[in-house]
Chain A
């Protein structure tokens, strides 16, 4: 079987891991007890878990061949989901070397399978974005972090929330937490020219200053700080491009009714009693409208979202490029995401029916699905919304 793309990911909660193993065990066997899962999962070597097939809303011409989709008439691409089996409780810095080794082993699986393009999902891309030289010898396989499309969906999500909430982007103060990372800096470049003021927060002051200088050269008003308390202004738009240890770290440092995009991984911001007025949504997610299937069927397990066929932007980037027949390392390294590159990958994605997903947070949808940008109707979708099993 041709493997057009491979997706490298891992389970972000023990519940997700338990559900995955339950599918593999089959309905005739009892679910593994939680303690057994915690004992077994760390020992599983990275490997393919299932086959993935996606459809485009358009035909694609690759060389002399037109690839069509029986469902939509558009192109199809086939791939593999490869799990690095990073244990959900080992995402901290203490495990970085072990986790890079797991991502490398997962990458080796993708190469062995002959994948033409590999998307590094969530934490995998964070581990590898500055360390591409640590990936195995790649032969004909190319790798992308998928961060450019993630940035595209974060930016679109912010714009959409502003529209839904009747906010004026131009008069907003934007705070980016994790501003010097690949995603954070990409968001800064895309949104800074559209807002009144930008507050950049990260741990590395040198990198912050460098990014600020880049933005200021375009006439943007920028403040930088390694501590959010040092900013002179309150933000009413917030992008958390790095996971916060606790949402309470934002308390008292942002406007009470701020729009907050949780773009970190894993996503851990939720509407809370402490920030009742904040409008929180999960950013960086897109939706495939040309069809998405797994074999075995992991719907609602591998994509645990309240809307069907929603996938993280980082994974969708590789899928979109595969549908387009563009097997190239679109996003690599750190700090190269520009508005032009974002527009380019969004155009490729949209050509194949991949759009911003309806917005939601840990409590569920934050908008009526019917008004979503894709005009995607749940009634027309073959996969029921009961696939929603809650966000971890």
Chain B
């Protein structure tokens, strides 16, 4: 795995029997945050308005900060936290975002990053924050809250966009849902049916999540619930989004 940004991790002996589990959870979180930073950096390149450019770059910096905080939590429990934005699922998510960049589709970018990926992050971090010990739990909970806050900013833009042409907007969300949420659903499946995710340091962490009072089913459920609630806030009819989610792979 490649370290994309210097997190200055030092290898320390593990101090907790669950440290390898937290290491994998942190690795997924750091990878997600780094990918979000890359996405915001890419977004800044298609923004016309200087304020939007500054906003996107600021978000990129915030996401890098989140990655660094997660890595620091790893060091506290004595593990190096790797990352791999080229892991197969994460790479596909990045490609979906870059597709919107290529089309200079600012709204599409917000839908992918803020509605789909952030729903996943906010819900997962919040669940982890409830069970993780000490500062690890506090960090997950506080980053979940920060992510939720900046979703609010994007929601205002997206609601205004939907008001212009609801049908066209909903069609766009559905098109992106098919690509992005199908990939996320595979990542969130109770078992990784497509082989190793290329982020976990050894075998898949999912079966071991019970040891830290988590489960893959719970993380998936919470993520899909957050996604549905976010789509509700955009005003997309509930019966439509229910069918979208029901059709996802398990």
> Which residues on A are within 8 Å of B, measured CB to CB?
21, 24-26, 29, 32-33, 36, 39-40, 42-45, 47-51, 80, 109, 296
Contacts and interface: CB of A to CB of B under 8 A. Distances in A.
Contacts of B232: 45, 47
A21 B246 CA distance: 6
Contacts of B245: 44
Contacts of A109: 238
B247 A26 contact: yes
Given A45-B229, A50-B239, A40 B224 contact: yes
B246 A24 contact: yes
9 contacts: A24-B243, A24-B247, A29-B247, A36-B250, A43-B225, A47-B232, A47-B242, A48-B237, A80-B239
Interface residues of B, number: 20
Contacts of B190: 36, 39
Interface string B217-250: 1001110110011001000011101110111001
A44 B250 contact: no
Contacts of A50: 239
B163 to A, nearest CB: 16
Interface string B89-106: 000000000000000000
Given A39-B220, A43-B221, A43-B224, A48 B250 contact: no
Contacts, number: 53
A42 B221 CA distance: 8
B167 to A, nearest CB: 14
Given A24-B246, A32-B250, A47 B239 contact: yes
Q: Is the interface of B mostly helix, strand, loop or mixed?
A: helix
A26 B220 CA distance: 22
Nearest to B217: A39
Contacts of A39: 190, 217, 220-221
A20 to B, nearest CB: 9
A105 to B, nearest CB: 10
Contacts of A40: 220-221, 224, 250
- Of A36, A43, A80, the most chain B CB neighbours within 10 A belong to A43
B225 A44 contact: yes
Contact of B228 (A21, A29, A47): A47
Contacts of A43: 221-222, 224-225
Nearest to A26: B247
Nearest to B244: A24
Given A25-B247, A26-B247, A39-B220, A47 B225 contact: no
Interface centre among A40, A42, A49, A80 (most CB of B within 10 A): A40
Nearest to A29: B247
Contacts of A33: 250
Contacts of B247: 24-26, 29
Interface string B195-221: 000000000000000000000010011
Interface string B113-154: 000000000000000000000000000000000000000000
A25 B239 CA distance: 12
